[in-house]
Amino acid sequence: MDFFALLTFIIIFYIVLLFLDVTFKSCSHYPYLTFLQKTGLSVGPFQLRWYTTLLNRLILKMSFWNPKFQTNWFTFGSWVTICLIVPSVCLVIVSSAQLCKKIFTEPTNESTMNQQEMYLEPVVPGVNLPTSDLSYYVLALMFSTIFHELGHALAAIREDMHIDGVGLMFILILPVAYVHLEDITSLPSSKQLRIMSAGVWHNIVQAITAYLVLLLLPYMLFPFFTIGSGVVTTNINQKSGVNGQGGLVIGDVITKLGNCDVSDFKSWLDCLNRTMTSVDSGFCLSPEFVQHHDETKSVHYVDENVINCCDPNSKTNLCFEYIESLSNPQELPNHSCLNVRKVIERSTSLCDADNQCSSAHCYYPAIHKNHKLVVIERQNKNEVLFLGPPIELHYISVTQYVPKTDYFFYNIPESIEKFCKYLIMFAGGLAIINVIPCFYFDGEKISRVLVNTMLKDHVEHLSVRLAISICLTIFGSLILIIYTILGFWSLLTIIN
């Protein structure tokens, strides 16, 4: 499902939902109105809202757990949040410059190789995020916003403020949690900062926790999964040539890719890159083997560069070209049609133009220039022979966690890894964006309190201090607006 199909489905869903809502309300359908009142649900244009007061008591009980620790926790969090303001503003400015460069500069091979620079970029399902990861996207964002608002709620109760209620709202597919609090402007500055920075602080802690889980995951899953014995296939795109009969299947443990040993995810990526850039190798075969297994029909050119000497309908044979050795020349046919699997099994070693075979003869597969013959070795199974563009091997999704028994699902570690990565992305992103002085963000209130507190002894008039904080907020808002415009412009270039 691409971006437009997903967007169309979501829009139709909300139109139908809004139509039913308006219809039932206009008819004064009593069961429906009672249902809305009891559940706290409400429907708006492209949004679904849920509000409740039932969780107030639970949050109140949580706030009484170790009060001294919580006070110190939110005090420390307010200092961390304040220290994050300037780096966040700088990161958004740098990200805007990177996005600008990405939009207005032509991509080159050198720039594609150096695309490891860190910067913020909007993510949209179906554009720069796989639609298959949509559930991770929504869940991670939901956890991030809920944990953010829980921070505000707990900090507010610690400062003797009342919570009216909590809720969750879906805008299209984006979940947004919220808390209704009393006005906190009457509180001392330190208490206001603790409440307003609690959400950002909770997101920072959430991102760090998810990162630690990622680091410790191999040790946590050690009793059930092994790392270092290969990679397990978790998904194979239909575009890939290894998909289908005689190819890879989900759950296969890959131990070797061509001449490259695969032990974990990093070595898998290294082997993929090596397969893309390496020069084709030939196979060292004995003259007796070639003469005995040669099934050459007629030698003819398929195109300018490719010669075929096999039956066009054969799925097991391939035309091989004989590379004559200077040290041990033999009168052998230039092209031989041989069974590929037997060639790999009976080959004594691999050969190239510089390193010829010592006791055999070098045969190269006669294939297209951008194609490669790659042998994929599997654990406890026959090798898979791949013939085609090596870029298709990138369509294979793998995990480095190999289950010790068949009772454990190979996709459990991958799901945990993926969820943690999205949690780091969204929790970290929310912390960075929310702390910037921008209208309707936490950063606006934090900067106002900071300016008022720091300039109290230097600037006498409150209106002047307020004007300074408004100028900072306008500056932060402009930065975010420019970044958002550039971000979505960049996404439009991907769509087009």
Helix (H) or strand (E) run with residue 472 in it? helix 462-495
Angle between helices 67-104 and 189-220 (to 10 degrees): 80
pLDDT of residue 119: 67
Tell me the C-alpha distance between 90 and 318, whole Å: 58
Tell me the C-alpha distance between 344 and 353, whole Å: 19
Residue in the block written with tokens 């990162």: 211
CA gyration radius, the chain: 31
Cβ neighbours, 10 Å, residue 115:
8
DSSP character string of 473-485: HHHHHHHHHHHHH
| Residue 147: band (very low, low, confident or very high) from pLDDT cuts 50, 70, 90 | very high
**pLDDT, tens only, 372-405:** 888 899 988 888 888 888 888 888 889 999 988 8
pLDDT of residue 493: 79
Q: Quick check: 387 and 241 in contact, CB under 8 A?
A: yes
Q: Quick check: 402 and 229 in contact, CB under 8 A?
A: yes
Q: How far apart are the first and last CA of the chain?
A: 16
User: What b-and-e string marks burial along 461-478, b requiring 16 or more CB atoms within 10 Å of the CB?
Assistant: eeeebeebbbebbeebbe
Average pLDDT over residues 13-41: 89
Reduced to 3 DSSP states, what percent helix, strand and coil does the chain have, rounded to the nearest 5?
A: 50, 20, 30
Q: Quick check: 424 and 207 in contact, CB under 8 A?
A: yes
pLDDT of residue 118: 60
Tell me the C-alpha distance between 40 and 350, whole Å: 70
**pLDDT, tens only, 297-313:** 888 887 777 888 888 88
Mean pLDDT for the chain overall: 87
pLDDT of residue 410: 77
| Residue 476: band (very low, low, confident or very high) from pLDDT cuts 50, 70, 90 | very high
Cut 0.85: pTM above it: no
User: What b-and-e string marks burial along 146-162, b requiring 16 or more CB atoms within 10 Å of the CB?
Assistant: bbbbbbbbbbbbbbebe
Average pLDDT over residues 60-74: 92
Tell me the C-alpha distance between 427 and 177, whole Å: 13
Tell me the C-alpha distance between 9 and 29, whole Å: 27
| Residue 115: band (very low, low, confident or very high) from pLDDT cuts 50, 70, 90 | very low
Tell me the C-alpha distance between 103 and 122, whole Å: 14
- pLDDT of 107 strictly over 60: no
> Strands (DSSP E) along 22-133, which ranges?
41-44, 47-52
Residue in the block written with tokens 């799925």: 315
pLDDT of residue 112: 42
